């Protein structure tokens, strides 16, 4: 297992030398991480990363920084709403994805990742988010993006999230079957499949996702949670209520050298979170 970190979680509270993209990468490697989840807009501050800005030079700059620091880009994140109800806006979003796919191919990013949106401009869960109509809308929005990924030889991966259109393993399988592309894979985040209503079935929800989506998993996100009333708050691995035995056992048994990215860490707890995950993994 190769453990990484979201580069934007190495944040600007650090000393000035770690506030640049170069500094964040240096810090990631110093803290023992081998790969990064890269959200360009969150680390290249003040830059409008539209199609004009997604240049070959930007791709090579990131590639050279990663090579210098011994890091891989496990996920190039482009988490925009592919189920946007406005057709003109949807076309702009799809164009942005095509730009990310193009630069991903140049920089050698392992996956271009996306969540699965909501059927409204606000990208918020509503009464229609879990409907079949919303799912069909997302599939229509995703299909041409995956076609572009095929053209560039890039892996596109969707991340199921309870509050989004693809909220469980069965919905994800429907997307995989509808698109039917070898370039479409899964980012599996066990905590993102949980909610207050299914928390008492946590183990079965996660195991169901492993059984149905395991062959398609390209990378895994790991974080923890605490329950606050009807909401789950995401926190760093090892600081909440999550049991990692099932997901880490799956990685160890079936996913050699899988890249696993920690989420919701802080400057203070990132190393400890990595050590917790590594300790559990070694004990399985």
- Hey, what domains does the chain have and what are their CATH numbers? 2-283 (3.20.20.150)
> What pLDDT is attached to residue 12?
63
Q: Is the pLDDT of residue 14 over 90?
A: no
Average pLDDT, the chain: 95
| pLDDT, average across residues 174-190 | 98
Q: Is the pLDDT of residue 40 over 80?
A: yes
Residues 145, 139 contacting (CB under 8 angstroms): no
> What pLDDT is attached to residue 45?
78
Q: What's this model's pTM, rounded to 2 decimal places?
A: 0.95
> What pLDDT is attached to residue 17?
64
> What pLDDT is attached to residue 67?
98
| pLDDT, average across residues 263-279 | 96
* DSSP structure string for 107-119: HT-S-EEE----S
Residues 224, 241 contacting (CB under 8 angstroms): yes
In the chain, what percentage of residues exceed pLDDT 70?
98
The pLDDT-based confidence of 47 (bands split at 50, 70, 90) is confident
| pLDDT, average across residues 206-213 | 98
Q: Could you tell me the end-to-end alpha-carbon distance of the chain, in angstroms, rounded to an integer?
A: 13
Q: Are strands 224-228 and 231-235 parallel, antiparallel or unpaired?
A: antiparallel
Partners of residue 260 on adjacent β-strands: 3, 220
> What pLDDT is attached to residue 182?
97
Q: Is the pLDDT of residue 245 over 70?
A: yes
Partners of residue 37 on adjacent β-strands: 6, 75
DSSP reduced 3-state for 236: coil
> What pLDDT is attached to residue 196?
94
Q: Is the pLDDT of residue 220 over 70?
A: yes
């Amino acid at each position: 297992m190769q453990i990484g970190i979201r580069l934007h979680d190495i944040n600007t509270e650090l000393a000035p030398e770690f506030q640049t993209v170069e500094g964040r990468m240096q810090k990631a490697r110093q803290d023992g991480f081998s790969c990064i989840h890269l959200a360009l807009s969150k680390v290249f501050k003040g830059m409008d990363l539209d199609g004009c800005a997604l240049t070959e030079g930007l791709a090579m700059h990131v590639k050279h920084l990663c090579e210098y620091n011994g890091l891989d880009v496990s996920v190039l994140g482009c988490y925009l709403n592919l189920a946007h109800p406005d057709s003109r806006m949807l076309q702009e979003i799809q164009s942005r994805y095509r730009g990310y796919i193009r630069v991903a191919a140049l920089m050698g990013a392992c996956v271009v990742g996306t969540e699965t949106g909501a059927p409204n401009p606000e990208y918020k869960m509503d009464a229609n988010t879990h409907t079949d109509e919303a799912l069909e809308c997302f599939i229509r929005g995703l299909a041409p993006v995956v076609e572009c990924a095929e053209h560039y030889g890039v892996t596109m991966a969707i991340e199921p999230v309870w509050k989004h259109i693809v909220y469980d393993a069965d919905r994800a399988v429907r997307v995989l079957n509808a698109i039917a592309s070898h370039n479409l894979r899964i980012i599996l985040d066990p905590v993102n499949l949980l909610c207050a209503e299914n928390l008492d079935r946590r183990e079965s929800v996660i195991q169901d996702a492993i059984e149905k989506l395991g062959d398609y998993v390209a990378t895994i996100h790991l974080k923890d949670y605490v329950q606050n009333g009807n909401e789950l708050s995401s926190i760093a691995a090892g600081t909440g209520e999550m049991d990692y035995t099932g997901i880490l056992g799956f990685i160890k048994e079936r996913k050699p050298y899988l890249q696993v990215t920690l989420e919701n860490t802080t400057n203070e707890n990132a190393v400890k979170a990595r050590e917790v995950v590594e300790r559990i993994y070694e004990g399985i």
